């Protein structure tokens, strides 16, 4: 399984955003939707071993996490609006501390970064990290944590300060583009490309 978790610092938790205005009303929900797409989609299929966690941290109320699982997700299309409609549906389900089903392969729970970090060891993307191309396959994490259009907050940096850091290239990229590059590196290593 390969997991990608993305913190949406302004992403609204309660599903009240407008599908016709994902960037504004959703708190850059467009970017989170493209992260789902980059995590799960091949040209003509779904990556069955992919998990994408969206941390909705823009309120109201406590953070929530929406999880998309490649193996079991149904009726998901690659366009932003498709993922967004699932996130909207997740927002109105009464969320507890355990995941609850939104639809096949999509779940929601209360809780954000803290609980996710307690469950899994993530690699962090950071321009000062080690170049991912120089890392042996055995040392490439199977989970990565990314931030949306904002940097990690100082509180988040404190929580992740001991995690390994990787860089992808000389430019600072959108989170969804970073996921594309990470998958490519994993795909190549597994197939012994280069």
Site residues, its own copies (CB under 8 A): 19-20, 22-23, 30-31, 34, 37-38, 41-44, 77-82, 131, 133-134, 149, 168-174, 177, 180-181, 183-184, 187-188, 190-191, 193-194
- Its sign, for the CA torsion 121, 177, 151, 100, is negative
CB of 50 to its own copies, least distance (A): 12
| Residue number with CB closer to its own copies (34 or 67) | 34
Selection from 12, 32, 27 nearest residue 146 by Cα:
32
| Residue number with CB closer to its own copies (19 or 117) | 19
CB of 164 to its own copies, least distance (A): 19
Enter the tokens of residue 53. 């966690």
CB of 134 to its own copies, least distance (A): 7
| Residue number with CB closer to its own copies (30 or 63) | 30
CB of 1 to its own copies, least distance (A): 17
Taking residue 25's Cβ as centre, other Cβ atoms within 10 Å add up to 13
Q: How far apart are CA 183 and CA 3, in angstroms?
A: 10
Which residues, other chains included, contact 45 with Cβ-Cβ below 8 Å and sequence gap of 6+? Answer: none
| Residue number with CB closer to its own copies (24 or 104) | 24
Enter the tokens of residue 69. 């699982």
| Residue number with CB closer to its own copies (120 or 142) | 142
Contact criterion met (CB below 8 Å) for 3 and 72: no
Contact criterion met (CB below 8 Å) for 5 and 116: yes
CB of 119 to its own copies, least distance (A): 27
Which residues, other chains included, contact 161 with Cβ-Cβ below 8 Å and sequence gap of 6+? Answer: none
| Residue number with CB closer to its own copies (16 or 18) | 18
CB of 76 to its own copies, least distance (A): 12
Q: How far apart are CA 22 and CA 40, in angstroms?
A: 20
């Amino acid at each position: 399984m390969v997991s990608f978790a993305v913190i949406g610092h302004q992403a609204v938790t309660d599903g009240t955003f407008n599908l016709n205005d994902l960037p504004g009303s959703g708190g850059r929900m467009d970017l989170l939707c493209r992260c789902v797409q980059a995590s799960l989609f091949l040209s003509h299929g779904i990556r069955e071993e992919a998990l994408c966690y969206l941390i909705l941290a823009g309120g109201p109320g406590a953070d929530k996490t929406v999880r998309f699982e490649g193996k079991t997700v149904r009726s998901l299309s690659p366009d932003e609006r498709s993922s967004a409609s699932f996130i909207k549906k997740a927002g109105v389900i009464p969320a507890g501390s355990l995941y609850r089903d939104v639809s096949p392969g999509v779940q929601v729970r209360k809780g954000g970064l803290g609980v996710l970090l307690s469950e899994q060891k993530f690699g962090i993307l950071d321009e000062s990290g080690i170049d991912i191309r120089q890392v042996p396959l055995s040392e490439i994490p199977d989970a990565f944590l990314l931030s949306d259009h904002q940097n990690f907050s100082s509180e988040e940096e404190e929580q992740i300060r001991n995690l390994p850091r990787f860089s992808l290239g000389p430019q600072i990229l959108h989170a969804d583009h970073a996921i594309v590059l990470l998958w490519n590196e994993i795909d190549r290593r597994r197939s012994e490309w280069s």
